[in-house]
Amino acid sequence: VVDMLPALKVQQGYLRGKLCKDFYGGTYLSFQGIPYAKPPTGNLRFKAPEPPEPWDGVRDCTREGNPPISRHVVTKTVNGSEDCLFLNVYTPELTEPKAVMFYVYGGAFIMGAGDKDLYGPDFLISQNVVVVTINYRLGLFGFLSLKDPTLEVPGNAAIKDVVQALRWVQENITHFGGDPNNVTILGGCVGAVCVQQLILSPQGKGLFHKAIMQSGSALGTRGIGQWSTPLIKKVLDLEEVNDRDIFNILNEMSAERIFQLQETIPDTYFPDVPRPFGIVQEAYQTKQTITSEDPLSVLQSGDYNSVPLMLGFAAREGYLVDLHYNQHKASANFERQIPFPLNVPAGSRLSDYVANELKGFYFGNDLEQQRSDDFFVFVGDNLFVRPIYKSAKLHSLTSSTPVYLYRMSLDADLNFFKAAFNCKRKGTSHADELGYLFTHMLTPTIRPHSIEAKGVEMFVKLWTNFAKYGDPNSPEDPIERPRWKPVQNGEMHFADLGENFTTGINPEEHRMAFWDRLEEKIANGM
Residue 424 is part of a domain; what is its CATH number? 3.40.50.1820
Q: What is the pLDDT of residue 420?
A: 79
Residues 6+ apart with CB under 8 A from 371: none
Last residue of a domain, one of 283, 316, 348: 283
Task: Indicate the residue among 283, 317, 332 that finishes a domain.
Answer: 283
| Same structural domain, 243 and 317 | no
> Is 297 inside a domain boundary?
no
The answer to whether the beta carbons of residues 422 and 442 sit under 8 Å apart is: no
Residue 343 in any domain: the answer is yes
- Find the mean pLDDT for residues 184-197: 98
Reduced to 3 states (helix: H, G, I; strand: E, B; else coil), residue 58 is strand
Pick the last residue of a domain from 267, 283, 299: 283
Please indicate, yes or no, if residue 495 is contained in any of the structural domains: yes
Q: What pLDDT digit, counting tens, does each position of 396-411 carry?
A: 999 999 999 999 999 9
Q: Is the domain of 188 the same as that of 116?
A: yes
The string of pLDDT tens digits covering residues 214-273 is 999 999 999 999 999 999 999 999 988 999 999 999 999 999 999 999 999 999 889 999
The arithmetic mean of pLDDT across residues 284-305, rounded, is: 94
Whether the pLDDT of residue 477 is over 70: the answer is: no
Name the average pLDDT for the chain: 93
From residue 336, alpha-carbon distances to 273, 344, 356 in Å are 8, 11, 12
CA pair distance 346, 58, nearest whole angstrom = 59
Residue 79: C-alpha distances to residues 8, 100, 113 (Å): 30, 29, 11
Does 401 reside within a domain? yes
Tens digit of each residue's pLDDT (9 = 90 or more) over 349-380: 999 999 999 999 999 877 777 777 889 999 99
Do residue 57 and residue 160 come from a single domain?
yes
Is residue 238 domain-shared with residue 108, that is, in the same domain?
yes
The pLDDT score that the predictor gives to residue 2 is 47
Tell whether 270 and 351 lie within a shared domain: no
- Compute the radius of gyration of the chain from its Cα atoms: 22
- Percent of the residues in the chain that have a pLDDT greater than 70, as a whole number: 98
% of the chain residues with pLDDT over 90: 84
What mean pLDDT is predicted for residues 480-503?
92
DSSP element (H, E) containing 98: strand 98-104
**The predicted structure's pLDDT at residue 308:** 98
Domain that holds residue 381: 308-525
How far is the CA of 73 from the CAs of 112, 429, 435, 440, in angstroms?
Answer: 6, 15, 14, 12
Confidence of residue 1 (pLDDT cuts 50, 70, 90): very low
In a domain, 303, yes or no: no
293 φ, ψ (degrees, to nearest 5): -125, 160
Band the pLDDT of 276: cuts 50, 70, 90.
very high
Residue 468 pLDDT level (bands cut at 50, 70, 90): very high
Residue 302 lies in a domain: no
Number of domains in the chain: 2
Shared domain for 341 and 278, answered yes or no, is no
Q: What is the pLDDT of residues 129-139, one digit of tens each?
A: 999 999 999 99
Q: How confident is the model at residue 331 (pLDDT cuts 50, 70, 90)?
A: confident
Q: How confident is the model at residue 329 (pLDDT cuts 50, 70, 90)?
A: confident
Same domain, yes or no: 267 and 119: yes
Residues 338 and 202 in one domain: no
Residue 22 has pLDDT above 80, yes or no: yes
Residues 231, 340 within the same domain: no
Rounded Cα distance between 167 and 157, Å, is: 15
Asked if the model's pLDDT at residue 277 lies above 70, the reply is yes
Amino acid 226: pLDDT = 96
Of the pLDDT bands very low, low, confident and very high (cuts 50, 70, 90), residue 76 is confident
One domain, residues 91 and 6:
yes
Among the residue ranges 63-67, 70-74, 146-150, 470-474, the one predicted with the least confidence is: 70-74
Tally of CB atoms within 10 A around 369: 9
Cβ partners under 8 Å of residue 475, min gap 6? none
Same domain as 192, residue 137: yes
Decide if 294 is inside a domain: no
Indicate whether 265 and 332 sit together in one domain. no
Q: Is residue 298, in this structure, part of any structural domain at all?
A: no
